Structure 1
Amino acid sequence: MIKPAIPSAPRPLSRRAFLGDCAALSAIPLLAGLPASVFAAGSDRLKIGLVGCGGRGIGAVRDCIAADPAVQLWALGDIFADRVEAARDLFTKGQPGNRPRPPLDADRNAVTDERCFSGFDAYKGVINSGIDLVILATPPGFRPPHMEAAINAGIHVFAEKPVAVDPAGVRRVIAVGELAKQKKLAIGTGTQRRHTNSFQAIMQRVQDGAIGEITGGQCYWLGGGLWHRGRQPEWTEMEYQIRNWYYFNWLCGDHIVEQHIHNIDVINWAFGGPPVKALGMGGRQWRTDPKYGEIWDHFSVEFEYANGARVASYCRHTKGAASREGERLTGTLGNAEPKRGSITGKNAWTFEGERNQGMVQEHVDLIASVRAGKPINDARRIAESTLTAILGRESAYTGREINYEWMLKASKLDLTPPAYAFGDAPPVKIPVPGETPLV
């Protein structure tokens, strides 16, 4: 039985009340700030909770458990009770088939009925369940308030990318990062390339000058179509949108933000920070069925960095078309392709070691930082990469060139819905360049 974190007849939760509830969690005594001796030799348990029981959340739990013998799954939460039940069943019984997943060992799975939560307040139930670290893997539109609630409650955070869908959310995450520093709490994020040894080796050489000054580059995420879960007659519009969250900007941020952020983050890594401006274009060529909400199917954005270098960013969802995913950096002495692990030109080099699993290593690094009393804090960095993707999206949506600093400091764009309740949902508004306003 899934314990609801809200009444069975849920009250409408206004945006103000939602934010106020998050702030109220700051009164909870600190559960974290874990001493360096904790988890020594795997002898002490690190209790983790999952908020967002979809595929990525389930994968993140398995990655975290694989990272350290001290990790124990303690609590589960999701807006939908059926997702909590499915995740718990998968962790308990495993999954046979072509891609089998073994069940978790009994000593690694401590989830009970009392520590399963559903509803819009499920994240609060998980955070207050006695955990040390929370994995946040809901649709990214929920990430800023969930991160804020966890840090206010003294809980270490692993937040999947991206961490916001609008500038208001980005600013909130930056503030949460500063609070985490004060509380000595860790914030790790799902940017696995930064924890993959081949990427690290290439990027270290780039930063040491192996390709000279970076003069330009490209990044790509060109792929096919995506899942769609359809519509059931008993679903309200809010439930329909959340179950098909990838197609609605208040939840997803469009695929340039939700997916292409991986490549954009690598480009920012190479330049040591975000761009100064962007000019983008794109559209909705085959994703024309109303069921696909409001997101586009292709973007092309030019990002300009502080040294004048321009990087072309391409992302696309088109069935039957060519695929490409990765990054390329051009410098005065050569080129680098981080995903391939190669540098060409004067200082040619190829990574030849065994590549580690970045999606596990990011949890290894997070837990090690807590043990050492030097908690990782990736909040600002992931916020900047998230905002870079949002910058490209808004430039394409509006048809205008936009400065990064304006987007960070002056944009009033806030996609938060007026209420979190199973009823109405934000209206669908397909962006039209030249008509969509810059907010």
Structure 2
Amino acid sequence: MTQLTRRKFLGTAAAISAVPLLTKLPAAAFAAGSDRIKVGVIGTGGRGVGAMRNCLAADPSVVVWALGDVFKDRVDEAREKLIKGSPKSRKPSAPVPSDRFFATPERCFSGFDAYKQVIASGVDLVILAAPPGFRPLHLEAAVNAGKHVFAEKPVAVDPAGVRKVISVGELAKQKRLAIVAGTQRRHAANYLETMRRIHDGAIGELVGGQCYWLQEGLWHRGRNPEWTEMEYQLRNWLYFTWLSGDHIVEQHVHNIDVMNWAFGGPPVKALGMGGRQARTDPKYGDAYDHFSVEFEYANGVRVQSLCRQTPNAQRRVNERVVGTKGYAMADGKIFGANKWKYDGDTPDAFKDEHVDLIRSIRDGNPLNEAKRIAESTLTAILGRTSAYTGKEINYNWILNASKQDLTPSRYELGAAPEVVIPIPGVTPLV
């Protein structure tokens, strides 16, 4: 893409800032006097570091400015990985050049308020990659402070959080702030072309579909006797619904988002089931190891959603959309009357989502994916809630009437929310 200098960008921004109700383009129009785009990472685990690297690859003006996490050791580890690279990791990475790394020790923060310090450090854009339970809080703080946002998926773990994200998204529109979510399939050339063809009628009228995220187990960091219960849960956040949303929300949201994309929005209702066959050890918190959910969309079409995290089991991660003239694999194949296969360049969607984010800011038309990712997050929550309670649930009810709010009463490294494994027919619908 053609690169704009910051000064040229600010000239464009000045014209945009004259729009009524806006006193100026937000702080993330990038500070005057420099071509740098200063990025801060909130949540410095593997995804936070990975997203920072993707952002660096997306635009040569990006620099690492600040790092923040609840735990200092995680910040220190992330800083070292970025400075030295990770040549021996599963996905080797090179060191960040010194002229693009400015996260000095003074701009590395830890504790539950680290997000506030990163946001206040002079960044233009923040990457939100802490456990999803913190996402609404961190997103709200970033937008209130006038920062552009890359928010990893999902963006909430409960209906209360989803409603906050939708509200903050509307505020971001008013302030001309970008919010791009980590649903990289929405930025992948193969998915974009496939979906264009689906919507143009290549497989006819849509009559069904299936989506899958079936894989082996995931990491668990064990328990250190020196940790409090809160620290234990935070360091093993995948297994606690108040932090992750359970894996149907944290992981399978990718595939669910694709189905919402195909059908033009969220479903009308869901009926689901799930449980714990492999995760019987209490160390796995309250997370299920499998879900099966039937989503019904507005045209009466039903979509089957399957996700599982079980060691030594078959892997399948994809989306299949069925129509009256054939079916499509959403990553680039159509079968039937209009047979087709994507043959373009292999996309690096993890980078491209950041390319699209930064380009939209430079163009003065910042992307805002808040409502869309909030809807897909809530669709996954809808399926989870149906499986947990054993009840068929309407989307509009969970959006507007559910009172579920999993936020703990306080954030401190002491006690943690009680672990109660959901039992269908016993767990109440809130």
State the one-letter code of the partner of 1:192. Q
- 1:31 is displaced (CA, Å) by 5.4
- Tell me whether 1:316 sits opposite 2:308 in the alignment: yes
Aligned-partner SS, 2:86:
coil
Aligned counterpart in structure 2 of residue 122 of structure 1, from 110, 114, 129: 114
- 1:33 is displaced (CA, Å) by 5.0
What is the CA deviation profile of residues 417-439 of structure 1, one whole-angstrom value per residue up to 9, with x for unaligned ones?
01100110000010000000000
- Tell me whether 1:70 sits opposite 2:65 in the alignment: no
Give the corresponding residue for 2:389.
398
Cα gap change, 1:38 to 1:189, in 2 (>3 Å)? farther
Give the corresponding residue for 2:237.
245
- Tell me whether 1:106 sits opposite 2:98 in the alignment: yes
Given that residues 196 and 357 in structure 1 are in contact (C-alpha distance below 8 angstroms), is that contact kept between their aligned partners in structure 2?
A: yes
Aligned-partner SS, 1:220:
strand
- TM-score, scaled to structure 2: 0.93
What is the CA deviation profile of residues 37-90 of structure 1, one whole-angstrom value per residue up to 9, with x for unaligned ones?
989xxx711000000000000000000000000000000000000000000011
Give the corresponding residue for 1:357.
348
Aligned counterpart in structure 1 of residue 178 of structure 2, from 166, 181, 186: 186
Aligned counterpart in structure 2 of residue 278 of structure 1, from 270, 279, 299: 270
- Tell me whether 1:231 sits opposite 2:223 in the alignment: yes
Query: How many Å separate the matches in 1 of 2:89 and 2:103?
Result: 27
Aligned-partner SS, 1:49:
strand
Query: How many Å separate the matches in 1 of 2:381 and 2:236?
Result: 20
Aligned-partner SS, 1:336:
strand
State the one-letter code of the partner of 1:402. I
Given that residues 30 and 155 in structure 1 are in contact (C-alpha distance below 8 angstroms), is that contact kept between their aligned partners in structure 2?
A: no
- Tell me whether 1:52 sits opposite 2:47 in the alignment: no
Cα gap change, 1:33 to 1:319, in 2 (>3 Å)? closer
Query: How many Å separate the matches in 2 of 1:308 and 1:348?
Result: 26
Give the corresponding residue for 1:413.
404
Given that residues 299 and 314 in structure 1 are in contact (C-alpha distance below 8 angstroms), is that contact kept between their aligned partners in structure 2?
A: yes
Given that residues 212 and 319 in structure 2 are in contact (C-alpha distance below 8 angstroms), is that contact kept between their aligned partners in structure 1?
A: yes
Aligned counterpart in structure 2 of residue 298 of structure 1, from 268, 284, 290: 290
Cα gap change, 1:370 to 1:358, in 2 (>3 Å)? same
State the one-letter code of the partner of 1:409. N
Aligned counterpart in structure 2 of residue 368 of structure 1, from 352, 356, 359: 359
Cα gap change, 1:55 to 1:98, in 2 (>3 Å)? closer
Query: How many Å separate the matches in 1 of 2:188 and 2:401?
Result: 35
Alignment of 1:155-170 (within 5 A): 155-170=147-162
Query: How many Å separate the matches in 2 of 1:57 and 1:98?
Result: 16
- TM-score, scaled to structure 1: 0.91
Given that residues 51 and 76 in structure 1 are in contact (C-alpha distance below 8 angstroms), is that contact kept between their aligned partners in structure 2?
A: yes
The number of aligned residues is 406
Q: What do you get for the CA RMSD once the two structures are aligned?
A: 1.4
Aligned-partner SS, 2:242:
coil
Query: How many Å separate the matches in 2 of 1:34 and 1:373?
Result: 9
What is the CA deviation profile of residues 137-193 of structure 1, one whole-angstrom value per residue up to 9, with x for unaligned ones?
000000001000000000000000000000000000000000000000000110100
State the one-letter code of the partner of 1:311. V
- 1:208 is displaced (CA, Å) by 0.6
State the one-letter code of the partner of 2:232. Y
What is the CA deviation profile of residues 256-292 of structure 1, one whole-angstrom value per residue up to 9, with x for unaligned ones?
0000000000000001100000000011011000000
Give the corresponding residue for 1:265.
257
- Tell me whether 1:385 sits opposite 2:380 in the alignment: no
- 1:95 is displaced (CA, Å) by 2.1
- 1:355 is displaced (CA, Å) by 1.7
Give the corresponding residue for 1:34.
29
What is the CA deviation profile of residues 303-333 of structure 1, one whole-angstrom value per residue up to 9, with x for unaligned ones?
0000000000000111111111100011011
- Tell me whether 1:134 sits opposite 2:126 in the alignment: yes
Query: How many Å separate the matches in 2 of 1:111 and 1:234?
Result: 29
Cα gap change, 1:38 to 1:64, in 2 (>3 Å)? farther
State the one-letter code of the partner of 1:34. A
State the one-letter code of the partner of 1:378. E
Give the corresponding residue for 1:4.
none
Give the corresponding residue for 2:9.
none
Given that residues 31 and 130 in structure 1 are in contact (C-alpha distance below 8 angstroms), is that contact kept between their aligned partners in structure 2?
A: no
What is the CA deviation profile of residues 357-390 of structure 1, one whole-angstrom value per residue up to 9, with x for unaligned ones?
0000000000000000000000000000000000
Aligned-partner SS, 1:420:
coil
Given that residues 58 and 87 in structure 1 are in contact (C-alpha distance below 8 angstroms), is that contact kept between their aligned partners in structure 2?
A: yes
- 1:96 is displaced (CA, Å) by 2.7
- Tell me whether 1:433 sits opposite 2:424 in the alignment: yes
Aligned counterpart in structure 1 of residue 139 of structure 2, from 147, 151, 161: 147
Query: How many Å separate the matches in 2 of 1:315 and 1:50?
Result: 29
Given that residues 155 and 162 in structure 2 are in contact (C-alpha distance below 8 angstroms), is that contact kept between their aligned partners in structure 1?
A: yes
Aligned-partner SS, 1:419:
coil
Given that residues 26 and 176 in structure 2 are in contact (C-alpha distance below 8 angstroms), is that contact kept between their aligned partners in structure 1?
A: no
Query: How many Å separate the matches in 1 of 2:168 and 2:395?
Result: 20
Query: How many Å separate the matches in 2 of 1:201 and 1:30?
Result: 33
What is the CA deviation profile of residues 323-359 of structure 1, one whole-angstrom value per residue up to 9, with x for unaligned ones?
11100011011100012x1001111111011121000
What is the CA deviation profile of residues 116-151 of structure 1, one whole-angstrom value per residue up to 9, with x for unaligned ones?
100000000000000000000000000001000000
Given that residues 33 and 183 in structure 1 are in contact (C-alpha distance below 8 angstroms), is that contact kept between their aligned partners in structure 2?
A: no
Unpaired runs of 5+ in structure 1?
1-28
- Tell me whether 1:325 sits opposite 2:321 in the alignment: no
